[in-house]
Amino acid sequence: MVWLSFWAVVYTQLSFRTVPLNGERSFNSPDETANFYFSRRIAAGDLIAAPQVPGNLAGGIVHPRSMAVLQGKLVPLSFLGMPVWYGLAGRLAGPWIIIFLTPLFAALGGWAFFRICNDVFGRRVAFAAALLLPLLPPWWYYSARSMFHNVAFFSLTLCSFAAVLAVHRHGRTFIAFFGGLSLGVALSLRLVEGVWILPLMLLAFIFCPRRYKRAWVWVAAGTVLAGLPVLFHQAATYGHFWQTGYLLPPAGSAVGSGGASRTWQDFFPYGIHPRRAASNAGHFLFGMLPWIFWPAILGILIQVLRWRELNNHRRFYLVAFLAVSLFSLGYYGSAALQDNLDPQAVTLGVSYVRYWIPIYVAVLPFAVIGVQWVVKRFHSRFTRRLISMLLFGLASWLSVRATFYEPSEGLRSVASAINAGYTKRSQVAAVVEPDAVIVAERSDKIFFPTYAVVGTLLDPAVQQNLPDVVAVRPVYYYSFLGGGDIETLQKNLQRYGLSLTEVMRMNQPPAAPEQLYRVTVQSNPN
C-alpha cells in the first residue's frame, strides 16, 4: 500500500504544475473541463444545469464542447456520476479536493487489484502485478489527468469485485454492502460499462456458495443506494431519471419522456467494424505497449494449456478477461475517433486508451505469468533475480518515456500546453470585454468559464446563427487557422452580413500563429 500511495502523490504533480497564477484552472480537453466545471457547481451547493447567457439565443450554439444548451441552461454531454460524487466530496471537504480524488481512487483501486490477484493467482503474481500497475502508462496518464472518469470508474469496479471475492472465499459478508456502494458509484461514472459489469456480477452470484447468497442482498442494496443521488440529478438536469447527456436529442427538440431509446444504434453507436477494431487493437495494445502484451499472450497460452490444473477462480478470470476484452475491442475499436489533429496518431491521449483501461489493467497478471515462465528457464537463483530486476527496470523506463516524454501528448507536453493556455488567456483578456463571447477552434477549454464560448466557427449552423449573438454581445474568433481557411470563412460569413477583423496575433515562429478576430456586422453588406 505504501508503493501505491507513493504513486498517488506522483499522479498529483500535473495538477500542481498547472495551477494558474490567476483566474480559473484550465484543462487540456473539453471532457475534463466539463467534469471540473459541473463538479464545482455541486460543491458550491448548486444544481448541475447552469444558467447561460444568452441562453437559448441563436439556436443554443453558445456552449463549450462536451456541453449543450438545454432549455436555456448549460448541461453536460456525459454521465453525471463524476460531477455528482466529486462535487459532493468537494461540498464536504472543500472544492480543493476535487482535483485530487482520482489519484486517491487510483491507490485504492491498486490495493483492490492486489487483493483480487492474490486470491486468484497467488501472492507472487499479485505482488509483481501490483508493482507494475502504477507504472502502467494508461493508468498513470489518466490518474494524472484526474478529471477523466475512467481510472476512478475502474478503481471502484475493482473494489466491488474484490469485495465479492472476499465474500466468496473468506465469508466476509459484512463488506458486501460496501462492494455494492462501489459498484453503484462506478456505474454512475460510466453507465455504458454495465453491459459487461452486470453480467459478470450475475455469474459471480450464480457460482457463489449457497451459504453466502444472502450477502448479495447487501450488494444490491448498496448499488441502488449509490445510484439514487445521480438519478435525482439526472431528473433535475434532463427532465428524466434515466436520461443522460449522451442521449440528448438534437438541439431544438425536447427531451423525450421515455428516456433512452432501445435501438441497435443505442447499444452499438459506433457500429460493428471488425477490421477497424483489429487495426486499433494492434496499434493501441501491441503497438503502444509491446512489453506488456506480448508476454501477456504467452501467459494466456500457458493458462489455456493448463486449463485442467486451474482452480475455478482462475478459470473465471481467464474467461471473463477474454470475453470482456473481445466485447470492448469490438465496441470501442469500431469507432473512427479523431481526438488528435493527426488522425493517424497513436498516443495516450487518444480516447481508445482510456476506454480500454480495464484491458490494460486486467492483462497484467498474464504478462507476469509469461515473464515468470521465461525467467524460470534459468536455473541459477541469482540469474533469475537479476533478469527480473532488469526486466522491471526496462519496463519502468519504457513506461516513463511513453507517459511523460511522448512529444505530442505526454504529461510534460500536457502541462506545457495548459500553462501556455493561461498566457494566451491573459493576452486575450487585455483586449476583450468581460461579457464577450469567444468562438474558439479547439481552444474553448482555455477561455471557459471566464468567457462564454462557442466551440467552432466551421459549423454552418454556427455561422447561420452567429448574427443573433453579435446583435447582443461582443463576439471574437480565436483560431489557429490562417490563409485560405480564413478567406473561406470570410466569404461564408458575408452571406450573413458578418466579417472578421484581426485584433491580435500570438506566437512567434517556429510556433504556429494564432489569431484573434473581432466578428462584426459588415458596414456595406451585399
pLDDT digits (tens, 9 = 90+) for 4-27: 888 889 999 999 999 998 889 999
Name the band, by pLDDT with cuts 50, 70 and 90, for residue 383: confident
Closest CA to 201 of 49, 363, 320: 320
Name the band, by pLDDT with cuts 50, 70 and 90, for residue 325: very high
pLDDT at residue number 265: 55
- Which span out of 102-111, 197-206, 336-345 was modeled with the highest average pLDDT? 102-111
Report whether pLDDT(413) > 80: yes
Report whether pLDDT(212) > 50: yes
Least confident of 151-165, 202-216, 287-301, 399-413: 202-216
pLDDT at residue number 96: 94
Question: Can you tell me the mean pLDDT for 370-387?
Answer: 88
Give the contacts of 426 (CB within 8 A, at least 6 positions apart): 22, 23
Question: Can you tell me the mean pLDDT for 360-383?
Answer: 92
Domain boundaries, the chain: 431-521
Widest CA span in the chain: 87
C-alpha distances (whole Å) from 66 to each of 341, 411, 448 are 18, 22, 12
Share of the chain above pLDDT 70, in %: 91
Question: Can you tell me the mean pLDDT for 289-296?
Answer: 94
Chain mean pLDDT for the chain: 87
In degrees, to the nearest 5, what angle opens at C-alpha 219 toward C-alphas 214 and 221?
100
pLDDT at residue number 523: 66
pLDDT at residue number 508: 57
Is the Cα dihedral 187, 193, 194, 199 positive or negative?
negative
pLDDT at residue number 249: 54
- Axis-axis angle for helices 411-429, 381-404 (nearest 10): 20
Measure the CA–CA gap between 59 and 462, rounded to whole angstroms.
9
3-class DSSP state for residue 475? Answer: strand
Measure the CA–CA gap between 57 and 65, rounded to whole angstroms.
17
Report whether pLDDT(427) > 60: yes
Q: Are 356 and 332 in contact (CB under 8 A)?
A: yes
Report whether pLDDT(113) > 60: yes
3-state secondary structure 136-178: CHHHHHHHHCCCCCHHHHHHHHHHHHHHHHHHHHHCCHHHHHH
pLDDT at residue number 205: 83
Share of the chain above pLDDT 90, in %: 58
pLDDT at residue number 261: 43
Closest CA to 147 of 247, 26, 232: 26
Name the band, by pLDDT with cuts 50, 70 and 90, for residue 69: confident
Name the band, by pLDDT with cuts 50, 70 and 90, for residue 251: very low
Name the band, by pLDDT with cuts 50, 70 and 90, for residue 266: low
Higher pLDDT, 452 or 242: 452
Name the band, by pLDDT with cuts 50, 70 and 90, for residue 510: low
**Structural Rg of the chain based on CA atoms:** 25
DSSP 122: -
Measure the CA–CA gap between 237 and 35, rounded to whole angstroms.
15
Report whether pLDDT(150) > 70: yes
Half-sphere exposure of 475 (CA within 13 A, CB side): 26
